[in-house]
């Protein structure tokens, strides 16, 4: 090991920053966040540093560096853009036995600063020993996405209970087991969703009645339309930590592959018209697993609250007194619009957008066709492929012209995405001609024609339908 990693207590320690530019500012702020007493020496300061000096948060010495300034300093940072100044700072400081770092110059440093993931009091420091800082930063970015924001609060809670837990579990392995369960189970889940009182209550409960395991939590998580890059960070964290994942037919394989290796993956897909697992059975499974103390992820295509029956599942969980959390996802209409280059609103063409379900006969009957056939709006139909004739007939009967542009986006955001554009008049024939299949959304409105012009995804890969043929242009 070229460098020995340590965490240093800088509270009230005298530190010196040489330089007054943006690098000096960055370093000064880092030292201040560790409660150091900072002196900055530089003839001039950049505005934010000078503001810190005016507020009395740092001492500013408005003159060039001189050797005497190092005396009595615990740590020194050379942050000027002049090599000779940094060299002289380094030489003087090492002579005095100070810790000294010249920014981005390991040769003139006796310590280097790592890339940091700060979830205080949990702090992770990453270093490549100066060999590849970019690599260290990439590792940091990865950890930043994977570690929950409130990890530090969980650590603080554990700190508060340390002594008590020690008294209750005098045996060290029992104590370790207790903490392992607590810091990965429902207590952690409650803290991560921002409910610190509940986290405390659950911790108390597991101390007072340790034999009864607390209920697990259910996450109703939106998986987005397919492209794994569209999953939210929170959704990703759920996939990485859930014990059981119940997923729908519309969840893509690439999203599922992000699940923790040892999670149980349970398919509860429902195909239109042939319901293998009923909604009641899904709800029952969610509740049973949660009651066994498991962390259960209910993973749904798109967004769980958009035509996803998410509301019903939450009502049942609430009745069963199971804690839950909802993680939004990118809904099919939004994903399809972005990946086909069809803006849902546009100053010239549409000032509002409606997401409509064309699921079954009954739902078509209750649609307000007059409202749907208004101009200057965009309609996006979900689950509509089987009902095109009715859609076409009703929209035209209620006032939309047969020349209104339309676009089908099939398998939106996935590698196999296809887009077919046409007009309301050719709606049915366009779908037939290109054999549009589920899952697809149908966009109706002036904006649909922009797909021809603004397409970017899949075009080069040859996945898009031949535009000329599709539009008849």
In angstroms, how far is CA 353 from the centroid of its own chain?
26
Note whether 336 binds ligand SAH by CB under 6 A. Answer: yes
Q: Is 328 in the site for ligand SAH (CB under 6 A)?
A: no
Contact present, 214 and 205 (Cβ < 8 Å): yes
Token duo for residue 183: 């810091």
306: contact with ligand SAH by CB under 6 A: yes
Closest CA to 377 of 392, 394, 356: 356
CA distance 410 to 408: 6
CA angle in degrees (0–180, nearest 5) for 176-179-184: 130
187: preceding bond cis by omega (within 30 degrees) = no
Q: By C-beta, is 70 or 336 nearer to ligand SAH?
A: 336
Stretch that binds ligand SAH, among 39-47, 65-73, 186-194, 296-304 (CB under 6 A): 296-304
Active-site residue flag, 270: yes
Residue whose CB is less far from ligand SAH, 243 or 313? 313
Distance CA 282, CA 289 (A): 11
Where would I find the H helices in 169-232? 172-184, 186-192, 196-208
Q: Binding to ligand SAH by residue 340, rule CB under 6 A? A: no
Q: Pick from 163, 430, 439, 189: which is nearest to 301 by CA?
A: 439
Letters for 168-207 (x = contact with ligand SAH by CB under 6 A, - = none) are ----------------------------------------
Q: Site map for ligand SAH, 412-431, x if CB under 6 A?
A: xxx-----------------
# binding residues, ligand SAH (CB under 6 A): 24
Contact mark string toward ligand SAH, 229..268, x via CB under 6 A: ---------------------x------------------
List the catalytic residue out of 13, 29, 270, 285. 270
Task: Find where tokens 């007072």 sit.
Answer: 208
With CB under 6 A as the contact rule, which of the stretches 66-74, 122-130, 361-369, 410-418 interacts with ligand SAH?
410-418
- 294 vs 300, which CB is nearer to ligand SAH? 300
- Rule CB under 6 A: is residue 301 a binding residue for ligand SAH? yes
Q: Could you tell me which stretch among 79-87, 147-155, 299-307, 418-426 binds ligand SAH (CB under 6 A)?
A: 299-307
Min CB(229)–ligand SAH separation in Å: 14
Q: How far is the CB of 316 from ligand SAH (least distance, A)?
A: 18
Q: What is the DSSP secondary-structure string of 282-339?
A: HHHHHHHHHHTT--EEEEESB-TTSSS-HHHHHHHHHHTT-EEEEE----HHHHHHHH
Catalytic residue among 73, 248, 294, 303: 248
Active site residue 44: no
Instruction: Examine residue 444 and tell whether it contacts ligand SAH (CB under 6 A).
Output: no
C-alpha closest to that of 89 among 56, 42, 52:
42
Region of residue 201 (left: phi > 0; alpha: psi -120 to 50; beta: else): alpha
Interacting residues toward ligand SAH by CB under 6 A: 225-226, 250, 300-303, 306-308, 331-332, 336, 382-383, 409, 411-414, 438-441
| Positions marked active-site | 248, 270
């Amino acid at each position: 090991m070229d460098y020995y990693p340590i965490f240093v207590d800088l509270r009230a320690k005298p530190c010196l920053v040489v330089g007054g530019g943006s690098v000096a500012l960055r370093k000064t702020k880092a030292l201040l966040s560790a409660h150091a007493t900072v002196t900055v020496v530089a003839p001039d300061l950049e505005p934010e540093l000078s503001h810190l000096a005016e507020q009395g948060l740092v001492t500013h010495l408005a003159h060039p560096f001189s050797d005497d300034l190092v005396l009595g300093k615990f740590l020194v940072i050379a942050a000027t853009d002049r090599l000779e100044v940094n060299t002289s700072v380094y030489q003087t400081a090492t002579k005095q036995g100070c810790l000294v770092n010249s920014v981005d110059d390991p040769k003139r440093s006796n310590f280097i600063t790592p890339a940091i993931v700060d979830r205080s009091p949990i702090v992770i420091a990453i270093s490549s020993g100066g060999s590849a800082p970019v690599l260290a930063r990439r590792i940091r970015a990865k950890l930043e996405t994977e570690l929950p924001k409130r990890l530090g609060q969980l650590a603080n809670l554990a700190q508060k209970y340390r002594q008590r837990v020690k008294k209750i579990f005098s045996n060290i392995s029992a104590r370790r087991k207790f903490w392992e369960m607590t810091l990965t189970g429902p207590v952690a889940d409650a803290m991560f969703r921002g409910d610190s009182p509940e986290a405390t209550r659950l911790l108390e409960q597991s101390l007072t009645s340790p034999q009864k395991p607390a209920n697990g939590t259910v996450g109703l998580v939106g998986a987005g339309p397919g492209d794994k890059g569209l999953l939210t960070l929170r959704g990703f964290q759920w996939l990485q930590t859930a014990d059981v994942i119940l997923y729908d037919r519309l969840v893509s394989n690439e999203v599922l592959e992000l699940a923790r290796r040892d999670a149980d993956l349970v398919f509860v897909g429902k195909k239109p018209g042939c319901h293998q697992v009923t909604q009641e059975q899904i709800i029952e499974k969610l509740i049973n697993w949660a009651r066994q103390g498991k962390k259960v992820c209910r993973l749904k295509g798109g967004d769980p609250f958009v035509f996803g029956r998410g509301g019903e599942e939450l009502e049942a969980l609430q009745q069963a007194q199971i804690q839950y959390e909802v993680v939004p996802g990118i809904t099919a209409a939004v994903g399809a619009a972005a990946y086909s280059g069809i803006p849902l609103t546009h100053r010239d063409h549409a000032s509002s957008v409606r997401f409509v379900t064309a699921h079954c006969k009954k739902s078509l009957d209750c649609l307000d066709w007059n409202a749907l056939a208004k101009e200057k709006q965009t309609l996006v139909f979900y689950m509509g492929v089987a009902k095109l004739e009715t859609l076409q007939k009703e929209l035209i009967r209620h006032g939309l012209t047969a020349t209104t542009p339309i676009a089908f986006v099939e398998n939106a955001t996935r590698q196999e995405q296809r887009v077919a554009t046409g007009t309301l008049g050719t709606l049915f024939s366009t779908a037939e001609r290109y054999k549009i299949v589920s899952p697809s959304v149908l966009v109706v409105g002036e904006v649909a024609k922009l797909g021809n012009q603004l397409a970017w995804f899949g075009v080069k890969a040859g996945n898009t339908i031949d535009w000329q043929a599709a539009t008849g242009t």
